[in-house]
Each structure stands twice: as structure tokens, then as C-alpha cells.
Structure 1
Amino acid sequence: MFYGALVTFIAWPIPEPDLPASVNSVLADAANAAAAAYRTARQMLTRPELSEEVAMGADGTPTMRVDSLVEDAIAESAQANRVNLLSEEAGFLDNGSSTTLVIDPLDGSANAASGVPLSCFSGVLTRDSIAVEAVTVWLDTGRVWWARVGQSTPYRTTGRTTLDGAAVSLLRPKRNNGDAWQRVAARAGRLRILGTTCLETALVAEGSVDAFADPGSDTLRIVDLAAALVLVPAAGGAVIDAHGRPLDFDPDLTRRWSGIAAATSALADQLAEAVLG
């Protein structure tokens, strides 16, 4: 392997997702389609090509080429399975079904395009706007988090109830939330900024970190939080909006939340209080 300015391809391979056999076939097909498209994109395109902005997404933010390639593959999968799709870039695609696949096709796009191995596919199966099953795939490793509503899960949060000394993942500070970000940071014992909400909330579910938060910047869309709404409560935790707004599967992707995923409801509430000051 060569190093330096001439090297712009991302060399390491993308594995198949390690999906449990019991994952719904619609979710499994979407996850495998995402991984395959991401694998091909990394093999064929340079970093500048992956990160090129090719459209404006339904959420009002620019769409990178790598986002588009992965989402297109998932859209084909959803159409083949005759389910609707709600996705970050394309918005709502109606395939005439009572079942909708709510996805973030490539969470951590900037990481993915630049070669930082922290990006995820995340999908939730909903029936009549009620979530029934979720899967998050860490694309660079094939690692999978999966849960079905009403069934037991092997994941358990840390059970932490207090913010002081907690291990917290945060969105990066932004112009509109610097004070709130500092209030949370001052009380946490350890901070991480990974740049992929779906991975960070999955780590809350399995007890690797105590909490994840957008400290008041109103950045997150429902596709960012959809899987967390299934995975984290199943593991004993809580997912809320810092401002107390309900989190629902609204197809309007211009809506934003300051989402918090925490080991317990008590910790989620303390994070919200710190954000609001």
C-alpha cells in the first residue's frame, strides 16, 4: 500500500453484516444491500469522489455520492420487498404498503467518505407508524445490534442514574449550543465524539457508554434516532428529546430533535436539565 497525496482510495474491505438468523428478511435485505453498495463504492471511487455533493436531500442537507449509492441500493431492496421507505436523502417512497422501512442509509457519511471506520446502516421496520424491529450495522466491521419490540434482548445498559462522572458521547459543539455543550462536558467523566449517532446510541444499549446526547443543537432527524427508539428501551434505557418534544415516525424530515439516549430515565432527565441550563 502506498501513502501520500496520490492515494485516495480506501483499501480495507467491508465485511458481510453478521446478522442473526431471526432478523426480518426486509431488514436483512436492506442491511446487506447497504453493505454491498458501500463495499463497491470504496473499491471503485476515490475519497474526493465519495464525498462529492451530488444532490440536496429530503432533510435539507447536501447528499454525498456515497450516501446516494448506498441509499439507491436500499431503495431497490425496499421496492423488491414491496415496502415503503423513509430515508434521509430520498424522503418517503410510497410502495403501497402498511409497512415502512425507516432508514439512515449511511450514518457518519463524512467518516465514510474520508476513510474513518465509523459509519453505520440503521433501519427500523414500522407497521402503521409503529416500530416493531430495528437493526444497526457497523459497516466497517460487520457488527450488528438487533432488537424486536416485545422480545428479550441480550443488551443491557450500564444502569447509571447520574450525569456526574458519566461516560457520554456528544455531537460536536455548534454555534447555537456552546453553553449547553460545556455544561454537559463539565459534569461528564469521559467524553467521546464519534460522528455517528446510530453507533453511539447502540453503544448505550449494550452498556459501553452511559449516554449519548445532542446538547440542544436540534440536529437529529427521526432517521438518526429510529433504531435507538427500539434498541435502547429494550436494554433498559431511555430515549427522549432534551426539550420534551415527542419522538414519532413523521415522514417530514425537516423536523429536528435534540435527542438523548441514556442508560436510565433518571440519567436522560439529568442530561436534559443540563442542556436546558
Structure 2
Amino acid sequence: MASSEENEMYSKQWEGCMEIAVQTARTAGQVIREAFKHEKEVSTKSSPVDLVTETDRLVEDLIISSLREKYPSHRFIGEESSAAGEKCLLTDNPTWIIDPIDGTCNFIHSFPMVAVSIGFAVNKELEFGVIYHCLDENLYTARKGHGAFCNGIQLQVSKETDMSKALILTEIGAKRDPATLKIFSGNMERLLKAQVHGIRVIGSATLALCQVASGAADAYYQFGLHCWDIAAAAVIIREAGGNVIDTSGGPLDLMSRRIVAAGTVEMAHYIAREIQTITYERDDHNAN
């Protein structure tokens, strides 16, 4: 077991990494803001609604090359590099988990919910997260054991436990076949029967999760997102006092492509019990 001195040494080391992540996210955000003004070249990946632009690839290259220059021994998991065939493998090594543009569909349509997300894990444990809302220039940050902040102001989740007073966020996901859409709409119907105040879809998982961290929304659930959508935001929600779990009700599995996040344990587990699973292939399905 590591001594308190060793733990403090590692904590300071990751603090330096987070400072670099903040600088890198801001630089990437500048590139995205400039590209936001212009026509985008769009192509598809796994499905007609799984979209990518040249800016996604450019920004991921910028982030990874900047970080690799400073930390050549670290590992990297990126959305576009994974889409290009690189294995999505989380090991004990220090690992950066990167979404260059979360909300690509929003970006294409100039809908302003667009963010850069940079998470960092060591020994398969999330250490810090940085999410930069490029258009509003809101910077969300959190480091394990040190709280969560937006532009330096500390975040606090909602403490609501009553579903009839809740605002819930979700996303549709990439699968749009009739059977999947039936489950998706059924899940919304179950929560609406609980008389929730509302359900919102904003097109950016990371920014939706930041709304939970800030207390603006009470909970979020989704099937079909990826580890790069979850990593940074999970740290931010936990450090804001919230709960992040698997849709089964168990601990979060970063590679499972499913999540429930809420300000309170009661609300997180209520949603996990109510919703029906939509199955997606794990992020690490090709890791072996």
C-alpha cells in the first residue's frame, strides 16, 4: 500500500498533467470556434448518424500530439483513432481518454452545445477530467479528492430525491432501428409516468453530464455512448457530490457504453431500475 507521502507525490504529479490538459483543451477550443464559422466537410463512420468532420480529426491530432510530446510514455484513447482501428484498451498505465468534439452533429449544424473532453486514468482509476464548452468558453474541471469547478466556481449537484420534481437528460444513441427506438421511447415513457418535470436531449453527453454536476439537471442516463464521452465527466460529477453508476445498478464500467448519473443515490438507482437495456458492443471488444 502506498504511503501518504507517495500518494501526495502522485497527486502533485497529476495536478501538473491537469494543468497541461486545461491549456490543451483551450487551444483545441479555439480551433473549433474558428471552424464553427465555416462550412464543414462531413462523412460517416459506423452508421448514417455517426458523423465525423475533418475538424474532429484535426483537433484529436492536435490534442494527442501536444500531450504525447510532454508525456511520451503515456497511453492514449481517442474517438477518431479508435474509429480508425486503434484498440480501445485501458491498462494500468497513465492513459488520456479524449473526445476532440463531443457533439459533432451539433457542430455540423452550428448548434452551440459542443465541447472538448479530456479524461485521465491511472491504474484504471479516473484521476481528473477537463471539459471545455467551446462556444460559451465554460471550463469544467475536477481532480479526484479536490472538488469540481466551472471557471473556478465550485460545483454542487442537486440533492433532489423526488422523481416528480426532476429534470432528466438523455441522448438517443446511434442505433435507430425500430426495436431500439421502441426501447428508447419506452424508457422515456416509464420516467414520464413518474411525473418528472421534463426530459431533455441536448446532443452532447459531456455537457449534459456537466449540467448534472452543476445541479441544473438532476440526472442523466444513456446507452451507446463511449468511454471518451464518460471519462472526464464522471470525475466532475463525483467531485461535485454526485453518483455515477452502471445501468444495472452496479459500479460504473467505463467500457460498457452505458451510464446513469444523478445528484443522489436514490435517483440514480430509481432510474437504473426503471429503464430497459439497449445493448451495444463494448468499447474494449477488440482489445485482445
Same fold (TM over 0.5): yes
Residue 39 and residue 219 in structure 1: after superposition, are their counterparts in 2 closer, same or farther (change >3 A)? same
Gaps of 5+ in 2: 1-14, 149-153, 174-179, 278-288
Structure 2 counterpart of 1:115: 110
Structure 2 counterpart of 1:53: 43
For this pair of structures, how many residues does the alignment match?
Answer: 241
Q: Please list the CA deviations of residues 223-271 of structure 1 after superposition, one character each: whole Å capped at 9, or x if unmatched.
A: 1111222111111110112124643445xxxx522x1110111100011
Letter in 2 for 1:134: G
Q: Please list the CA deviations of residues 116-163 of structure 1 after superposition, one character each: whole Å capped at 9, or x if unmatched.
A: 011111111222322111111111111011111011342111111122
Contact 2:33 2:135 in 1 (8 A): no
Contact 1:86 1:103 in 2 (8 A): yes
Identity of aligned residues (%): 25
* Structure 1 range deviating more: 138-147 or 80-89: 80-89
Structure 1 counterpart of 2:177: none
SS of residue in 1 equivalent to 2:130:
strand
Give the distance between the partners of 1:209 and 1:245, measured in 2 at CA. 22
Contact 1:78 1:85 in 2 (8 A): no
Structure 1 counterpart of 2:231: 226
Structure 2 counterpart of 1:180: 187
Letter in 2 for 1:229: A
Correspondences of 1:134-149 after superposition (within 5 Å):
134-149=129-144
Give the distance between the partners of 2:79 and 2:249, measured in 1 at CA. 23
- Report the TM-score when normalising by structure 1: 0.77
Detail structure 1 runs of 4+ shifted over 4 Å in the superposition. none
Residue 76 and residue 29 in structure 1: after superposition, are their counterparts in 2 closer, same or farther (change >3 A)? farther
Contact 2:230 2:254 in 1 (8 A): no
- Report the TM-score when normalising by structure 2: 0.75
Contact 2:249 2:269 in 1 (8 A): no
Correspondences of 1:144-163 after superposition (within 5 Å):
144-153=139-148, 154-163=154-163
Letter in 1 for 2:43: E
Pair 1:190 & 2:198 matched: yes
Q: Please list the CA deviations of residues 63-100 of structure 1 after superposition, one character each: whole Å capped at 9, or x if unmatched.
A: 33232122121122122222322111112589xx9321
Give the distance between the partners of 1:244 and 1:160, measured in 2 at CA. 18
Structure 2 counterpart of 1:28: 22
Question: By percentage of residues, which structure has more helix?
Answer: 2
Contact 2:102 2:117 in 1 (8 A): yes
Q: Please list the CA deviations of residues 164-186 of structure 1 after superposition, one character each: whole Å capped at 9, or x if unmatched.
A: 23111121385142211211233
Correspondences of 1:1-277 after superposition (within 5 Å):
24-43=18-37, 45-47=38-40, 49=41, 52-53=42-43, 56=45, 61-82=50-71, 83-91=74-82, 98-153=93-148, 154-172=154-172, 175=181, 176-187=183-194, 188-214=196-222, 218-244=223-249, 246-250=251-255, 255-257=256-258, 259-276=259-276
Give the distance between the partners of 2:197 and 2:25, measured in 1 at CA. 35
Gaps of 5+ in 1: 1-20
The RMSD of aligned alpha carbons is: 2.8
SS of residue in 1 equivalent to 2:128:
strand
